[in-house]
Every structure is written in C-alpha cells, then in structure tokens.
C-alpha cells in the first residue's frame, strides 16, 4: 500500500494528452485536458464502470499475485494498424516516420530505452519491463496482404474527435488489432491546457453507452507520431503515454489534487508535472506530522515524486519508466478483458501476420489506389470546380507497400486526352459538364482502382445570367428560377448522405418553398455547401447580396452543443477558389464573418424539425459585393458547418443581388401588404394590412426592370386589388411595388 496521503479519486475515460504545437528538443512535454466533469455528465455510468474495473483488479491481484511475473509465455505481440487520415499535406506521414514510432515505443515497453540510465536506484528497482512488442500487421481483416498502414483522404483529419466520426473512415476489429489514427489536429473542445496531442480509450465499458467497439484505439496528431519527419525533435512518448491508457492506466496523479492512481508503487503527485526536474523532486502530498516515521521523511525528500513516469506530463526526454505496479494493471487487462486477451494470442499473430515468420518474410501487397486534386481554395472533398479551358493536377495517393514498381492508368472522360499513364497528370477540360475520374494502379501482386464519380465540374466562362438584378425565390417547382431548375450545386459531405442542403416545398418566407440545410443528427464539424449559378456583376451598380434566413434553437440546456455555423464565400473563377465575405445581419451595423450562436437564431425554441410558420420567424443579412463590380462570372457559396446532432434545420429564401442604393431588404420584413396565392397561375389578390396608409398606385415590374402594369388604388379598392394573369408575360418572377405608410415596399410574385 502507498504511504502517502490519499485524496478523492478523480479519473478520465477518453484520456487526452495535450500540449503546444511549437515543439523542440528542449520542450516536448505532454499536458492533459481530462474534461472529467463534462464526460461524467454525458455518461452517468462512467464512475460505476471505472470503480468495478478497479475492484476487479484488486481482487484479481489478491488471488493471482504470484502469477503476475510468470504467466507470460514469451513476448506479448500486439498487431498494429495505422490509419493516416489526411488531406494530402504533411499530415500524410511516411512509413519511415511510423516505423520510428514503433521502434521507440517498443524500447519503452521493454525497458530497454537508452535514457533509463538516469533513473535513480530506488525507481530503477521498481521499473518494469512490460514485455510487449508492437508490430505492423501484414494481413488485413479480409486476409489480404497489407503493410499495416491505411491512408484515407478526408477533411475529418482536422479537429478530429470521436464525435466527428473520423474513426469510422477506417477501423479494424479491436480484438485483432490496435487501431492508431494519425490526424492533422484534434479538437480542443474547451480543454484549458492547450492543443491536444493525442487521446486513447480505456479497455472497460460502462452502462452500454460508450461506443468502445467502433472507437477503440489511439488517436495522435502527426507531429507527435514517431521521431522523424514532421515529429523530428520529439522522443515518441505520446504513443507510450496513450498506450498506457489503452491498457488501463490513469495519470500518475489520479487526475486530482494529490490524487490516487490506484497503483501501489507510484508515489502520490500533487498535480501533473511539466518540463523536467532533477532527482529527487519533493513529494509535497506527503504531510509530515509529529507521528511521521523516518520512512515518511525519506519518501518525501529522498524518493520524491515519480515525475519520470510515462503517465505524467513531463517532457518526452524526461519520461523513462513504467512501474511494476503499472505493469500489473496491464497484466490484469490482458488476463481478463477478452478483446485485449485475444490480441496477444499466437493464433491472432498468425491471422494478422505479426508472427515471427510473417515479419521475417513479409508478403508483397497489391496497391490501394487513391487520388485527389488540391489547388486553389476549393476545399470540397468530393468535387473540383474549374472554368472551361482550365486544368487540374491530379495527385496520386496510391499506397500499401512500395509504389516503386506501380504502373498507372487514368480514365478521364470529358478531358483533353481521355486517358493518361502519367502518375500525376495535368488534365485540361474544355467542355462544360460534370465528369468522373478513375485511377487504376497495378503491380506484380495485383491491381487496385479508385473512381470519384462526378468529381470534376467544368463551367462556362460566360455567366449564366447577366441582368441588372438577380433574384431567386428558392421555390421547388420547375421553371421558376435557377434554383427550381437545379442550377444550384449542393455538396453535402456528411456521413449521412440524406442530410444537408435540399429543396423543400414548405417553410418559405411568404411563399411555399425554400432552400434548407438539414444538419439535425449530423456529426460535429461536418460540412455542407450550396453554390449559386454564375452572375455577371458588371451589369449591377453597387451590388449587394440580400438573403432571408430562419433558424431555431432546439433546447436551452447548457450542456447540449448547438453550434451550427453559416459562412458566405464568393468565387470569380468558376469555383476554383473562394473568398470569405462579411455579413451584416438585420439591424446590426457590424460585419461578421459567420452566422452562429445568437446571430443564427431567428425564432423561438423548437425541440425538433423546425419549420418557419410566419414572416416574424425570419431575419435577413446582406453581403457587400462592391469589390466584384468588374467581375463578369461570380458565384456565391453558402458553407454550413454542423455544430453536432442537436441543431435544427436552417432555411434560406429570397436570394437577391441588386443595387445597394435600392435595397428592399429592410422594407420587405415590415407590415404592408400580402399577395395570394403566391405562386399563382390565375388571379392574384393584393390585400393591405390593417392600420396602413396606402399610396395611389401599385406597380408591377419584370426582372429586367420594365414596368408592365400600373394599378390605381381608390377608396373603393383599399381593401384589396386584383391582378389578372393576362397582365403578366411568361412564367417567372415579378416585383410588385406599393407605397405603404410613406415608404416603398416591394414583394416578389411568382407566376406559373
């Protein structure tokens, strides 16, 4: 038993190792944001699960103490698969960097690390060889040959956490493999200590709520994986620390002030240690009293805190040991938790190709083909937009073993030259359209192919519309507008393809239709894009974009995330690159770069499936487009980011680009007059709201700005005016203008 002050237990399940991103050889320390209170609130059975784990451990130890050091039959081999989630950047780390990580962690878990020589004699006497070796698998779950590294191109490499679904992109059976995910960044999620370096999942479950089956493993950022490449200057101890959690260990200070990690031979530590120290570091959690013994004095001043333990947060170069008590926890996990037990069996080594023979003579894997194009600021994962006459550089991401002997065939329908054998061809497209791209990679062991359907969208360099004003009522029926005729591009990149931007026949602002982004039930940070047709802004003086929007909060519970966000971008080159634009919300003078939080909310609380029921539940924002008056091919993009599963749908309506000096956004929301039915294929009734003073005339304009009808308002017609279908020309959008309470008001009218 420990001879130290025991304090209230505080622990962590999804343990997070964090730190600063500016790494160097002198300061490579871990820091940690446990988010313990948040986790316990989300998972009420958390404490019960951990307490049972520790009770079972203590009982097992009392019954099997003599077997802990003798039960192992040879080195325990853990098969490893590394899932590199990347966007083609430096986060797509090399195999050499991954191997440097495994070499480092294997030294640490066998206590053969070179820096163990600095451990003082007392700590050295209780330091443990955990007798574990980590090996890259050479057989995939389907039995195919693999190099143990799976690479996936995805934006989910950024701000990765379990709730973003990045692990679902590539996951192998936890009973056969240790899953390691390498990502660009990990979501901070309010962590007070800094940028998160990695996190692991404990081996026990609780209450049936924790999805341990599909998320089991370790996640690390790329520049803390290994000791070379992007991690040069580090010592590779992030993985050592996280594997400790994965095998049941908690932080040495018990995640509490002078806490207890439930390991007998690790001294108490008041708090996490950062940086590095000289031995001994005074054990301040040991309170010396008049009844203290000489052993207590030695423990405080001569032994001190075990700041060099892998489960602390000191610099990588200062970590160098696990204790024998910590090894007992690992042994308990291997002996009692079935999916950890199976990992180290001889049969599993054969199945995963991590046995000695398979490692000595590894198989030659067939290629896994992958590719992408990364140019401009088009950050769509599933689509590349360019103008006719432009080119795309296809990047080859084929992996699985050596690529030196691979040959490549590209199928490029719609391109100038519909095939190519170049590993990374520069592909020109001259004809507008939407085109597939396919890559086939072949070597002596086999063939792999990858097709991205509709991956390239080529647009004319001539704008689709060149009027003095652009208006889209966002109705769902055909023939009314570009939106109705499917000229808008919707790019929904969530895991659930039924979610995202869509046309709906309900909920519109004073009309029946709207554009809706339904992100309810989606994963945090999933992305949804809606891109407008192209417009010639050289025909519009002082162009201003005006958009109606409606959104409702689903709950006012403080611990439920509702952080949906809308941004607006502009492109002048067919969508190849985009510029973020500021928005001014109704009655707010300050321009903001995103609509989120209170700025996004326009209606009251709706628990689910919000549908606007009245104009009062709408607001609007404007976007200054004056910088684009010389541009003759402009597209607008709405970029919606999910804040998690508890948001409500967002509605967009009345998309208008007009002269800022004649903007009608403000008046359109004021009481005045109504038109019904709208849309209409017959007579239209105009009805004035009560307590309004109406001018003498009602004017009707087409979208070219021509007045096509003038109706006189007399005392006998103040209750309403009728517009006959015959006054209108072709089906489409018209503008109806009246003077109400001394101010001009304009309404949009859709005619079938």
Active site members: 242
Classified as helix, coil or strand, 59 is helix
Nearest 5°: phi and psi at 694?
-105, 140
Residue pair 60/335 in contact (Cβ under 8 Å)? The answer is yes
CA atoms within 13 A on the CB side of 739: 8
Q: Which residue has the tokens 């040069």?
A: 232
Closest of 634, 627, 624 to residue 658, by C-alpha: 624
CA 529 from chain center: how many Å? 15
**DSSP class of 680:** B
Please give the full DSSP string across 336-378, using - where no structure is assigned: H-HHHHGGGSHHHHHHHT-SHHHHHS---PPPB--EEE--TT-
Q: How far apart are CA 341 and CA 262, in angstroms?
A: 22
* Contacts (Cβ under 8 Å, ≥6 apart) of 566: 549, 594, 595, 596, 600, 638, 639, 640, 641, 650
User: Count of CB atoms within 10 A of residue 465's CB?
Assistant: 17
39 contacts 286 by C-beta, under 8 angstroms: no
Cα-to-chain-centroid distance, residue 42: 20
Question: What is the C-alpha separation between 572 and 627, in angstroms, rounded?
Answer: 11
Residue that the structure tokens 């042994």 belong to: 331
The residues pairing with 368 across neighbouring beta strands, listed in sequence order, are: 399
Residue 48 phi, psi dihedral angles, 5° rounding: -60, -40
Nearest to 549 by CA among 629, 458, 647, 615: 615
Element (H, E) at 437: strand 433-443
DSSP annotation of 55 reads H
Structural contact between residues 620 and 546, judged by C-beta atoms closer than 8 angstroms: yes
Nearest to 92 by CA among 197, 229, 209: 229
Residue pair 445/366 in contact by the 8 Å Cβ criterion: yes
- Residues 305, 282 contacting (CB under 8 angstroms): yes
- DSSP states along 535-599: B-GGGSSSEEEEEEEE-B-S---TTS----EEEEEEESSTTSS-EEE-BEETT--S-BS-EEGGG
DSSP H or E run through 715: none
Kindly compute the dihedral angle of the four CA atoms of residues 305, 306, 311, 317, in this order, to the nearest 10 degrees.
Answer: 120
Please enumerate in sequence order all residues whose Cβ is within 8 A of that of 525, keeping only pairs 6 or more positions apart, or say none. Answer: 156, 158, 159, 164, 187, 641, 642
What's the maximum distance between 2 C-alpha atoms anywhere in the chain? Answer: 107
Dist. CA 394–CA 373, nearest whole Å: 5
What's the Cα-to-Cα distance from 52 to each of 46, 58, 494, 631, rounded to whole Å? 10, 10, 37, 67
Q: Measured between alpha carbons, how far is residue 415 from residues 91, 375, 573, 715 in Å?
A: 31, 18, 19, 66
């Amino acid at each position: 038993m420990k001879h130290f002050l025991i304090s209230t237990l505080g622990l962590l399940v999804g343990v997070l190792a964090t730190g600063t991103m500016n790494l160097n050889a002198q300061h490579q320390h871990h820091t940690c944001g446990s988010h313990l209170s948040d986790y316990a609130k989300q998972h009420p059975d958390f404490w019960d699960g951990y307490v049972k784990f520790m009770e079972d451990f203590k009982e097992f130890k009392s019954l099997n103490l003599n077997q802990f050091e003798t039960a192992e039959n040879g080195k325990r081999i853990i098969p490893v698969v590394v899932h590199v989630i990347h966007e083609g950047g430096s986060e797509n780390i090399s195999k050499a960097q991954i191997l440097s990580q495994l070499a480092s962690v294997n030294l640490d878990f066998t206590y053969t690390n070179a820096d163990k020589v600095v451990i003082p004699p007392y700590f050295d006497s209780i330091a443990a060889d955990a007798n574990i070796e980590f090996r890259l698998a050479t057989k995939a779950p389907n039995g195919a040959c693999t190099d143990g590294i799976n690479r996936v191109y995805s934006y989910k490499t950024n701000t990765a956490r379990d709730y973003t679904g990045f692990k679902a992109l590539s996951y192998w059976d936890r009973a056969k493999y240790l899953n390691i995910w390498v990502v660009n960044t990990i979501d901070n999620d309010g962590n007070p200590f800094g940028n998160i370096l990695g996190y692991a999942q404990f081996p026990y479950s609780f209450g049936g709520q924790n999805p341990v089956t599909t998320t089991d493993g370790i996640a690390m950022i790329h520049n803390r994986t290994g000791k070379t490449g992007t991690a040069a200057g580090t010592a590779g101890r992030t993985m050592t620390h996280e594997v400790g959690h994965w095998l049941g260990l908690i932080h040495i200070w018990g995640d509490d002030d002078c806490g207890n990690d439930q390991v007998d031979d690790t001294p108490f530590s008041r708090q996490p240690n950062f940086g590095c120290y000289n031995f001994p570091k005074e054990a301040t959690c040991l309170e010396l009293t008049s009844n203290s013994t000489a052993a207590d004095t030695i423990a405080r001043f001569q032994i001190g805190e075990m700041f060099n333990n892998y489960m602390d947060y000191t610099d990588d170069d200062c970590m160098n040991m696990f204790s024998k008590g910590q090894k007992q926890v690992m042994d308990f996990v291997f002996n009692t938790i079935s999916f950890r037990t199976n990992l180290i069996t001889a049969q599993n080594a054969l199945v995963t190709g991590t046995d000695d023979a398979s490692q000595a003579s590894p198989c030659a894997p067939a290629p896994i083909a992958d590719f992408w194009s990364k140019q401009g600021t088009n950050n769509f994962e599933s689509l590349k937009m360019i103008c006719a006459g432009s080119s795309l550089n296809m990047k080859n991401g084929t992996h699985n073993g050596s690529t030196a002997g691979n040959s490549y065939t590209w199928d490029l329908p719609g391109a100038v030259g519909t095939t190519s054998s170049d590993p990374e061809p520069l592909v020109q497209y001259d004809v507008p359209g939407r085109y597939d791209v396919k890559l086939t990679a072949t070597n002596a062991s086999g063939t792999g192919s990858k097709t991205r359907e509709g991956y390239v969208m080529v647009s004319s360099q001539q704008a689709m519309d060149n009027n003095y004003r652009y208006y889209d009522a966002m109705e769902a029926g055909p023939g009314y507008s570009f939106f109705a005729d499917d000229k808008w591009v919707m790019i929904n990149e969530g895991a659930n393809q039924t979610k995202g931007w869509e046309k709906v026949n309900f909920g519109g602002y004073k009309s029946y239709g709207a554009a809706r982004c339904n992100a309810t039930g989606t994963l945090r940070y999933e992305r949804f894009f809606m891109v407008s047709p192209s417009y010639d802004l050289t025909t519009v003086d002082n162009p201003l974009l005006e958009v109606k929007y409606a959104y409702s909060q689903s709950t006012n519970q403080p611990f439920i995330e509702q952080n949906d966000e809308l941004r607006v971008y502009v492109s002048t080159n067919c969508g190849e690159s985009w510029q973020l634009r500021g928005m001014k919300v109704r009655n707010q003078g300050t321009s903001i770069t995103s609509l989120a939080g209170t700025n996004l909310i326009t209606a009251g609380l709706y628990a689910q499936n919000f549908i606007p029921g009245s104009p009062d539940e709408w607001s609007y924002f404007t976007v200054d487009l004056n910088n684009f008056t010389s541009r003759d091919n402009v597209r607008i993009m709405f970029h919606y980011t999910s804040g998690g599963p508890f948001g409500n749908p967002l509605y967009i309506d009345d998309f208008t680009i007009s002269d800022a000096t004649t903007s009608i956004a403000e008046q359109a929301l004021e009481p005045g007059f109504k038109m019904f039915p709208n849309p209409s294929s017959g007579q239209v009734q105009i009805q004035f709201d009560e307590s309004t003073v109406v001018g003498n005339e009602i004017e009707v304009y087409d979208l070219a700005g021509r007045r096509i009808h003038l109706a006189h308002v007399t005392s006998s017609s103040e209750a309403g005016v009728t517009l006959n279908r015959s006054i209108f020309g072709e089906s489409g959008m018209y503008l109806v203008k009246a003077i109400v309470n001394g101010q001009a008001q304009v309404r949009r009218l859709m005619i079938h």
